[in-house]
Amino acid sequence: MVAEVRYGVETIDHIAIPVRALAANRSFYVDVLGLKHKTARRHSDGTARGTCVTAGANAIVLHLPGVAAGASPSPAPRVGIGVSAELWARVLRNLEASHCIFRGPIEHGEEEPLERSIYFDDPDGNHLEVCVRRREPFGECISHVVFETREIKKAITFYAESLGAGVPLSCGSETMIPVRNGQMIGLVEVAELSERSMTHHRGCYMAMDVPHADFDSMVALIKHYGGRTQGDHPTLKRLGPEGERSIYFFDPDNNRLQIVAPRPERKDELPSDREKWRRLLASRTEQAPGVNRWEAGGKKFL
């Protein structure tokens, strides 16, 4: 008997975008786009590994070392950030003042889930969109993430059947598949995946919150519908809070994703870098008893 998803993805929780110029991108996302800086992320030796900004309750992690690939020739991968009409107008003015090349404003059709959008790239060529939504959620958030696919029908089936996503919607030439709170997984069909999508599978990574009741079924169905998981690694268990379940996986087009079944009393706080390295070291020690030092980034740590 094939597993069954009862409820489906609840929300898009956070995303990670690869960058090479950390300071320039942090300034762009905060000063131009009006997002809030949350925290800097560091390796155990103190060197920078990224920074985190927020769009409402959603985290956007800008992570090093980025990818050397140029901007994708297609509209994806792309992150859509939903904002109020007032912030949208301010972002438009900021883009003009910063001499950033952008496309828009684009007014969407009355039957489409978005009202209007501006399209542009960050300093490292990652495609972005700032939009005003016609459907909930209306507040500041990650509105949607658009991925490239070589087979649109196969991709729609994968997200609908393995993750329980909703009925697809058209938005221009793209397909938007809503999750339970109204955020959307977007798809655009291409003849060949761009280097941006293919390089280390890190063009854009997206994490979604799912119910505990659906977690095991989703894991089974991801494989059944052409995806592949990275396994329930012991280190991943160590990094999450007690009671949380999580797994990384790829869709049929190698877009990297994660599903997380949070603990009921979850707090929306990232673990500190010190705590994260402590958990990693504890996991390494448990997997290899008697080994009290390990390597990271070419350096050894006790």
The domain limits of the chain are 12-291
Question: pLDDT digits over 91-140, tens only?
Answer: 999 999 999 999 999 999 999 999 999 999 999 999 999 999 999 999 99
DSSP per-residue letters across 53-86 = EEETTEEEEEESS-------SSS-SEEEEE--HH
Q: Is 97 exposed, middle or buried (0-12, 13-18, 19+ CB in 10 A)?
A: exposed
Q: What does the alpha-carbon distance between residue 290 and residue 301 come to, in Å, rounded to a whole number?
A: 15
pLDDT band at 230 (very low <50, low <70, confident <90, very high): confident
**Residues 6+ away with beta carbon under 8 Å from 266:** 241, 244
Cα–Cα distance, 74 to 68 (Å, whole number)? 17
pLDDT for residue 40 is more than 90 = no
Q: Rounded to an integer, what is the distance from CA 177 to the centroid of its chain?
A: 15
Question: What CATH architecture does domain 12-291 belong to?
Answer: Roll (3.10)
pLDDT band at 277 (very low <50, low <70, confident <90, very high): very low
- Coil, strand, or helix at residue 207? strand
Enter the tokens of residue 275: 């705590």
DSSP characters for 222-279? HHHTT-EE----HHHHHHSPTT-EEEEEE-TT--EEEEEE--TT----PPPHHHHHHH
Pair of tokens at residue 63: 């992570």
